Each structure stands twice: as structure tokens, then as C-alpha cells.
Structure 1
């Protein structure tokens, strides 16, 4: 039975544009991204976005960029027409857009109107409906460009079935605009929802005014506006450079971690990207400080010469490919770890805020306010004398707790008779060490929590968690100095792992050997494991090698062996640290505080939880209504 041979035919422009739109414009947020990036490429300093019904019925982007002339408008709506590259070098791309597909794709699936005016030119407007262009008409316009897209996907109604709710689509649009706003702190952005506004101003969903001054100051202020002030207060400045590749931005303290990766934002040459190499490097930098269910928060900007990165990987331009991915990963990991080490014992301020929130009474009505200031030393002395309880009538001696600084002959916490202390004695001076970051130990409660007094507040330290981190850092330091001890296997273990897997593992044999894992080729598709890290004891070499391969496939690098070694060191540190329930002398508590101040990363335990909480005196007074 004969079958008719298929005939090759040329698709018309309308079909080509609709196919391209399927790659470039997946949802309203994709359209907003393309239009805002065009505005940024045009040098805009103010960009206003309006949407209706999640962007399904209206998307309007207004910018004050360079604009276009009436003669350029039809060309701008032609496929692969762009002002950003000349086509001779696709590796030297310095703009957001360069494909020339966004506007014609949007015109193919919706009702598009572009109104623009260049300097020294008359304003003009061009409308497109389902790919059909109307004639260019004169239009009044102040300058820059206004793009209005109505009834997205009306020309391809099947795509509308895949749209989510108006609220979900509006949230996606807001997320796109916030990511672009983070990369451009000197540009003003607004987002309004004009659904049902009937010509009104609508609801302002997002606003970020242009910042001024130093780049890092502007970046911090913009990140505080987009990600929240808590992030800005608990983020560390990142600035590093290696072999022509620069890294800048802010990364949060480990104690400011999150349950998801929603606060991880990565940019390459100002372009927001979702690259597994960069996310893997970020995760690897925090691997020693967070448990697997916690995620760091960061906004990092990689800057490199255009020829070192390929942004022409996918039409959506959300993925990139580096010429030397190992260099970029190493730069991110080393820069973040250096910044975290420089932070020392610092913990996030949100820890204290959470404690205060849990302690604050939930009474009805406004809190009572005491109309008083903190009294002077003379006033306190007179008040103490007036408030001295008289228990003589009860046939027993008055008792009160004294401090070792005021009465060194008395053991801390011991109750003594009031008659043993001269009436009207001056209160004890501030303890020695109160001026230091973690203050001076004043006592211990429940045989696990150290209470220390600082110059302007108090610190509560979890003695077990703190000492566990200190021991862990010592063990890591010893391992770094002396190397990882390896134990030779009496009989080498042969692991069948396939020709490609064996080749990839052997490419990293030198790095694995430094971690105590020695492998050699053994025929086709197999490797022989001759040595394993001694600290791991008996290991399943096959399972370990497969884990390493999975990491290499996912991230381009593997930290599996190091992670296992550090997990063992963490368990050793846990068992070797001060246990809960042990009473500590004052000198031991102070020694622990001083060691914490001198040890990097001591603000969090090995699992990312805080080792101490700092409460300011003003916050404590607020708890008692002393405002």
C-alpha cells in the first residue's frame, strides 16, 4: 500500500510568529519581562507598568527612554529586527534583548499598540492585531515609548486554558518586575493593577524610587525595598574579583535562612538568571552552616566580559553558559565563605525580634506607659533604702541576692541576711567585660543557658550549641592543617559505573585524593577504590561514587566526600562539647564568651540555629511598658 510522501512547505509569517511567541511569551509575566527589558535597553530612567486581570486583558509599559521614530516602528515589529547587535558577533552581547522577537511575537498573539517619540522627532503610533499591521499614524507623546498589549493570546485561545488565576499571574508579574528592579537600583519602577479601575489610577502594587550615591549603598537600599528591611540589616556585603570576573551583592547570615529558595536572586551582567551552576555554588558556600531543609538568602551579581558567557542558550534568556564554570563557582564559594568568616560571631537581628515577639504579652488595649526616665545613681540609692522590706515582724531575717562583684565573699546566687550588707550601699558597678560584644557572664539558668550583661542589654547563650560550634571549627582547622587521613583497603573495591561515569570520576581523581578518596581506572567502565577517608570508617564505596557522579551532573562539581567528612566532624564536636545540664563556674562562662567572639561562624550551631540571642535594654523595657 503506497503512502503519499509529505511535502515540505514554507510557513507564513503569522504562523512563524505564533510559534516564536510560544517560546518567548509563556504567560503575562514573560511579556512584561520582554517589554521592561526593552525599556532598560533604551536607557529609561523611569518605567511604569500597568496590568489588568493579571495581565491577560491589559499590559501597559511606559518608559522615558530614547524612543523610536515613525519610520522605525514597522521595522521594530518585524522579526529579527533589532538595534542592539549587528549580527557579526553573537558573543559580544551587552544588552538584555538581541533576538528581535519580542514585539512581533506579542503582536502575533494579542492586540499590540506601540506609541513612541524620539528626540527631535514627531510622535507616532503603530497597531498590530493578530499579526496584521495597521498603517503608522501620528500620535501625541511626551517622549520615550508606551507599549500597550490587550487580550493576550486572543489569537491563540488554546493558550488561555493554561493560564492560572488572575491573582497568580499578577504575582508572577510582580516577581519579574522586582527582580529587574534589583538589578537596576538607579531606575524608578512602579506597578499598578488597574483591573476594574474604569480609567482610574488603580492600585499601586509595587514602587521603587531611583536610588542615588554609591553603588553598594544604592544596591542595599533597593534590596531593602524589594526583599525587606530585615534582609538589608542581616546581609553581608560581597565584593570579589578573579581573572576578570567580578562578584558583588549581598548575602544574608546563616541564621537568616529560609525554608525555601525564594530569597535567592542571581544576575549575570545585570540579567536575572536561573542557573543551576550558580544556585549550586550558593548552596555549597553555605553547606557547612545550614541543614538540608534550610536555604540561604542572597542577591548576587556576576560581572564578566560578554565573550566569557553565552546568553544565547534559550529564547527566554533565563539560562546562561560560562566558558569556565569552575572559575565562577570557585569565586562565589570563596567570596561567600570569606564574608561569613569576617562576620565572626554575628547572628541575625531577627532572632532577637522573634524572642521579643514570643515574650510580649497579648493584652487588650494599648500598653501602659510609665512616665519616668531611668533614675540617677543617687535616686536609685534612695529608692532602694525606701523599698527595703521589713520582715522583722515575721520572726525571720530579711534576705536578698547579691552579686559577686559587690561582695566577693559571697557565692553567686547565695541568699544572705540583709543585716550583712550595709544599709544604703552603692549598687554594684558594671561587671568587667560588659563592654565586649557578648558581655560578661552574670549567671546560668537551667544548667544550659548563660546570661551575660552587655553595655546596653543582655545576651542569652546556649552553652551546648555554642561549644559544639567551637569544637567543630577546631576540628576543621586541624584537618585543614594536617590533611585528611586515608585508610588503604586490604582488597580494592571495584565499582562498575559505566564508561562515561568512570571517565568523569577519573577527571576529578586528584581533588578526591586530597579528601582521602583514592581511585584508579580498572578496565572499561569501572574504577578501583584503593583508599577511603579514615574518619568515615567502613563506607559503601559504590554508593559514595554514585553520589559524587550525581553532584557532578547537577552542579559540575562535587562536595559529597567533604560533606560526609564534615558531618562526622560535626557529630564528634557534638559529643565532645559541653553538655546541657552541666553547671559552669563564672570564669568558664566568660572564657566561652571570649572564645565565641574570636571564632568565625560561632553565631550559629552546626545546623544553622543561633547560639545566642541578644536583647537590647530598650526592648526589654518595652516588654514591661516602660516607654
Structure 2
């Protein structure tokens, strides 16, 4: 066996480079973090050949003294920590003291810097070299050329110039999002691709993710003592097929953390289809003593001291914000979509007003709908929603002039699928099945948290099932009972259904029970309530919701609109599709060229 010996410093640095310097973007990340730590107010990045040929980063920070310049390229040399206490409460982006040494071991690296108060700048061309005078107004310039020139085997693993530039662009975006107060510029092969002025978080987010993202996002701001979450999270309508627009920062540091990702995914679970991904830019500020950022060489992962508390905080903060329906906002089209939107309260009402007839003009219809608005705003406290409305209403006094609900008053039904309503802003278009599905789903969740209300069937429904379906019904009988289904075998291949949840009394019972059994088929009975209950409830709500081509009366349409205003997450159905949209008068005027 060979004898044990010490590795040379160059080899040690190249081993470290294997952990720290994965590709040009890794170099750019480390150098940008140093510029931020130096207090820079402006940073310029120039790349050549995707960063493979050259990465040049200049900043106007505090600079480095001549005496420290050569030391900056040495292994484990840093100005940012000096003791274990410093390591346990790191407040800077870079701190390990190995990045510049690792970079200079696999690339030709020069460091030029002028410290505050120095008469001129100094430059050092690689580790162990003597600094020489140089010209520079202020700050520091790090110039990295010919990455992996001395390790060709590693260079073979790099991708095309365009691919490597895309990774560098992403590293640049992360730092730019974390520090909107710093002016930043990125150029590639002499062409500027990003020029960002210093500003606030909203302006920087719009510049990098687009104004379309901001228009379809909710502003997040939650604070509980030592933990604070801010930023923007997209509404489900802006979901994406990949995770390319997900940015999460802990104390200004971009991280990828499984616990955080799970918390965010759980917050979107009820409003986003499983194959889609949300877009977000979120910032978690937390006491540095309660988070360990020294668990990965590239500082991309963190460990929280109380991980469960952090998970629950992120989950509830997002769930509350995303759960606020835009239907509860008086001006959906004209307000900031990121602003919270309170839902409309329901009030009990004993009577029914007369509905306008379809032959009336829209203006006459609006006046008539006001006479029964009070009823329809209160009608949704009945268990089965739409089907509880009687057909012989009595007139009621009109509400106060100017009173108008956010989703307006129903005008008509389009092809038995959409509800057309008029509000103060213009035209509201509602997908009645998607909207009712969300309403039923939220009610089923709240009802099943207590004792479910059941509807006994006058004549039990008897279903003819396969042997597999019968076995599922027998295995999950207790789960079905907890949900409000009273089922029992009525023969070798027959299942008798004696009751269903009262909220689904109007549903097609055989179809509903078959759908629930299909969901239960591959699910262990012990896991149903704890892990996948909501999936079952979504299936039940879908089958219980009002179907397309069903004719609704004007009072029924208004009842649905009022229920939407009082329901959390009513902007999307259980599958993440939008339930309604607003067409403002300005949009309609532009379409018909009015005033032109």
C-alpha cells in the first residue's frame, strides 16, 4: 500500500475547484457575491464565449489593500469570518475563503483593486505573484480567462457557448433580484443583454421576470417575530411547465431547499394542476443564528434549526395570500393584482325577489337585478347552493343606490356554459361549472373537518360493480362513512348506497360513487384522510358541481356569483383553471373602436 503523504497546494486547490467551479456560472456567482460584500453600488459583467473564454466583473466597492491583494488568491483566506461565532451567524454572501483560490487554480486569473483612500490601484496576476501598479478609478476588477485551460478533461464537460451563457445569465439574475439597490449590467461578446438601474424590488422583478408576471402575481408580506417573508407569487393562471421562474432567497442568498420547495408546493396544492409549476420571487429574512449556510461548498443549500416552524410559516403565509379571491375586490381590472382581496360576507335572507325577464334591455335588467340582490347575496347559506333556490320569488326592496357586488349582476347564460354579468368595471364572464366546483370543494373541506352532514336517499341506489371495485368499497367502508357515504353490499357484484354528503345531494350518485372508488382503489385506507383526502374531495366536488348545458335562472346565477365572492381561492377551480375573467369598459371600447 502506498505511503500517506500531503497533497500539494495546487492539487488541493484543483480538488476544491471540482466542488466550487462546476461551470462558468459558478465562477460568476462567487465573484458577484464578493462584489456585493464589498458594498458595490454598481457592477458590470462582461462575458466571452459563454464565460468559457473570459469572465470580467468590475465593481465600485471598497477595494482591497495592496498588502491583502496577493493573499486574496490564497486558499482559505478571507476577511469575512475570524471565529466560530462569526461562522454561526454569517451575514455575508461569500465567506469560505476558497472560491478565488479554486478559480485561479483552473483559469488564468488577475485581480485589480484600488482600496478607498489609496493613491492608485494594484494588480496581481495569479497566486504567489507580486502586486504591480495599475490604473483603476475605484473598486475591484476580477478577470478570469480560459477556464479549465490546464485541466482539459473537465473542459470537455462544458456545453455550448449559448448554454453556458444561459447559466451565467441565471446566476446574474439571482444576484440582481436579491439586490435591487445595486445597478447591474451584463454583456456577452460585446453586446449588452441586461442593463438594470438601481431601484426597488417591484421594479427589479418586473425588469427580470416581466410585467406580465407582476400582473398575474400576488404580493406576499408576512411577519411573525424573527421571521419575515416578502416577494411575489404567481396566480395559477400564470403557471409554467418548468421551474425556470422560481427564486427563493434566505437572508439575501439564493437557495434550493427541499423543505422550502415542499412548503410552497403544498400552498399551491388546491389551486394548481400537478404537472404545472408556480413562478415566484420570495425573500425569507430570519435570524442568522437559526440557519446554517455552511452545508454545501457552493452555498446553495441551507439547514434551519427549527425546520418545521419555517415550513409552516412559509406554507400558511402563501396559502393565506393565494386563498384571497380576486372576486372579493371591487375593481379587479384596475387595481394591483398583487394586493390582498377580502371576500364578501354572506347574510341570511328570508324572501325572494322577482327576476327580470330576458326581453328587458341591459339597463333595465341592471335596475331589476338590484331589487333582488339582497336575496342572492344571502342565499348561499343553504346546504346545496344552487338547487336550494325555489322558483316562486317575492319582491324585495332595492338596495342602497350605488351598492354593487364585485362580480356584478347576472345578465344571461351563454350556451349553458358561461354566465355573463355586469359590474361597475364592465363585463364579467364566469365558467359556471369551474366556479361551482371550487365552492363545493371548499365547503366539503370545511364540513369534513367536523361531522359531515348527510342526505338519506329515499330509494337506495344499487350499483353493479366489478370485483375490484367491491373489494375497494369493503376495504374503505370506514373512510366512505367518514365522508358521508352509507354503503353496503347488496349482492356479490352489487353495492347499495343509502346516503351521500348533503352538499352533493343533487349529483349523479352512481357516477359519483364510482369516481370516488376509482380514487380509493390504489390508496391504502390508512393514508386516505391524512395524505390524499383533498384529492377525493376534489373528485366529489367535480361530480357534484353544476354541469354544462344546465339552464340557470337569473337568481341562481346571482347566487353563484355571491358564493364565489365569499369563497377562498374562488379565482381558480380545483384543477388550476380560471373561473372568471373581467373585460373592462376600456377594453370593450378599444375593441369596437369607440372614440377613435
- What range describes the TM-score normalised by the shorter chain of this pair? 0.7 to 0.9
Kindly state the Cα deviation for residue 74 of structure 1 after the two structures are TM-superposed.
1.0
What is aligned with 2:181?
186
Kindly state the Cα deviation for residue 471 of structure 1 after the two structures are TM-superposed.
1.1
Cα deviation 1:545-570 (Å, max 9, x = unaligned)? 7xx7xxxxxxxxxxx74452111111
Distance 2:286 2:181 in 1: 21
Q: Does residue 67 in structure 1 map to residue 63 in structure 2?
A: yes
2:213 pairs with 226, 231, 241, which one?
A: 231
2:192 pairs with 204, 225, 228, which one?
A: 204
Kindly state the Cα deviation for residue 607 of structure 1 after the two structures are TM-superposed.
0.5
Cα deviation 1:207-258 (Å, max 9, x = unaligned)? 22111xxxxxx21221111111112222222222345222222212222222
Give the secondary structure class of the aligned counterpart of 2:175.
helix
Kindly state the Cα deviation for residue 331 of structure 1 after the two structures are TM-superposed.
0.3
1:527-606 equivalence runs, <5 A: 543=524, 561-606=529-574
What is aligned with 2:439?
470
Give the secondary structure class of the aligned counterpart of 1:71.
helix
Give the secondary structure class of the aligned counterpart of 1:19.
helix
What is aligned with 1:245?
227
2:267 pairs with 276, 280, 285, which one?
A: 285
Kindly state the Cα deviation for residue 270 of structure 1 after the two structures are TM-superposed.
0.6
Give the secondary structure class of the aligned counterpart of 2:22.
coil
Kindly state the Cα deviation for residue 301 of structure 1 after the two structures are TM-superposed.
1.2
Is the alpha carbon distance of 1:624 and 1:562 closer, same or farther for their aligned partners in structure 2, counting shifts above 3 Å?
A: farther
What is aligned with 1:335?
317
Q: CA RMSD in A?
A: 3.2
Structure 1 gap segments, 5+ residues each: 196-201, 212-217, 351-399, 412-430, 494-511, 517-533, 549-559
Kindly state the Cα deviation for residue 149 of structure 1 after the two structures are TM-superposed.
0.8
What is aligned with 2:258?
276
Is the alpha carbon distance of 1:439 and 1:126 closer, same or farther for their aligned partners in structure 2, counting shifts above 3 Å?
A: same
2:77 pairs with 81, 86, 98, which one?
A: 81
Q: Does residue 138 in structure 1 map to residue 145 in structure 2?
A: no
Distance 1:277 1:174 in 2: 26
Cα deviation 1:317-375 (Å, max 9, x = unaligned)? 0011111111110001110111122344379999xxxxxxxxxxxxxxxxxxxxxxxxx
What is aligned with 1:449?
418
Q: Does residue 56 in structure 1 map to residue 52 in structure 2?
A: yes
Distance 2:424 2:71 in 1: 68
What is aligned with 1:403?
361
What is aligned with 2:145?
150
What is aligned with 1:40?
36
Q: Conserved in 2, the CA contact under 8 Å of 1:77 and 1:104?
A: yes
Q: Conserved in 2, the CA contact under 8 Å of 1:47 and 1:63?
A: yes
1:27 pairs with 14, 23, 29, which one?
A: 23
Is the alpha carbon distance of 1:261 and 1:448 closer, same or farther for their aligned partners in structure 2, counting shifts above 3 Å?
A: same
Q: Conserved in 2, the CA contact under 8 Å of 1:277 and 1:329?
A: yes
What is aligned with 2:119?
122
Is the alpha carbon distance of 1:594 and 1:541 closer, same or farther for their aligned partners in structure 2, counting shifts above 3 Å?
A: closer
Is the alpha carbon distance of 1:57 and 1:70 closer, same or farther for their aligned partners in structure 2, counting shifts above 3 Å?
A: same
Q: What is the TM-score normalised by the length of structure 1?
A: 0.72
Is the alpha carbon distance of 1:483 and 1:136 closer, same or farther for their aligned partners in structure 2, counting shifts above 3 Å?
A: farther
1:177 pairs with 172, 175, 183, which one?
A: 172
Give the secondary structure class of the aligned counterpart of 1:192.
strand
Q: What is the TM-score normalised by the length of structure 2?
A: 0.76
Kindly state the Cα deviation for residue 183 of structure 1 after the two structures are TM-superposed.
0.9
Kindly state the Cα deviation for residue 401 of structure 1 after the two structures are TM-superposed.
6.1
Distance 2:523 2:576 in 1: 30
Distance 1:405 1:455 in 2: 13
Give the secondary structure class of the aligned counterpart of 2:55.
strand
Q: Conserved in 1, the CA contact under 8 Å of 2:325 and 2:567?
A: no
Kindly state the Cα deviation for residue 126 of structure 1 after the two structures are TM-superposed.
3.3
Cα deviation 1:442-492 (Å, max 9, x = unaligned)? 11110111111222321111111111111111111212344899xxx9xx9
Is the alpha carbon distance of 1:567 and 1:242 closer, same or farther for their aligned partners in structure 2, counting shifts above 3 Å?
A: same
Q: Conserved in 1, the CA contact under 8 Å of 2:216 and 2:237?
A: no
What is aligned with 1:214?
none
Give the secondary structure class of the aligned counterpart of 1:589.
helix
Is the alpha carbon distance of 1:483 and 1:251 closer, same or farther for their aligned partners in structure 2, counting shifts above 3 Å?
A: farther
2:101 pairs with 97, 101, 104, which one?
A: 104
Is the alpha carbon distance of 1:24 and 1:615 closer, same or farther for their aligned partners in structure 2, counting shifts above 3 Å?
A: same
Q: Conserved in 1, the CA contact under 8 Å of 2:365 and 2:411?
A: no
Give the secondary structure class of the aligned counterpart of 2:125.
strand
Give the secondary structure class of the aligned counterpart of 1:301.
strand
Q: Conserved in 2, the CA contact under 8 Å of 1:111 and 1:127?
A: no
Q: Conserved in 2, the CA contact under 8 Å of 1:234 and 1:349?
A: no
Distance 1:484 1:245 in 2: 40
What is aligned with 2:492?
none
Give the secondary structure class of the aligned counterpart of 1:159.
helix
Kindly state the Cα deviation for residue 125 of structure 1 after the two structures are TM-superposed.
3.2
Cα deviation 1:96-126 (Å, max 9, x = unaligned)? 1111111111111111111101111133333
Give the secondary structure class of the aligned counterpart of 1:607.
coil
Is the alpha carbon distance of 1:92 and 1:483 closer, same or farther for their aligned partners in structure 2, counting shifts above 3 Å?
A: farther
Distance 1:152 1:19 in 2: 15
What is aligned with 1:267?
249
Q: Conserved in 2, the CA contact under 8 Å of 1:344 and 1:598?
A: no
Is the alpha carbon distance of 1:544 and 1:300 closer, same or farther for their aligned partners in structure 2, counting shifts above 3 Å?
A: farther
1:470-509 equivalence runs, <5 A: 470-482=439-451
Kindly state the Cα deviation for residue 269 of structure 1 after the two structures are TM-superposed.
0.9
Q: Conserved in 2, the CA contact under 8 Å of 1:442 and 1:453?
A: yes
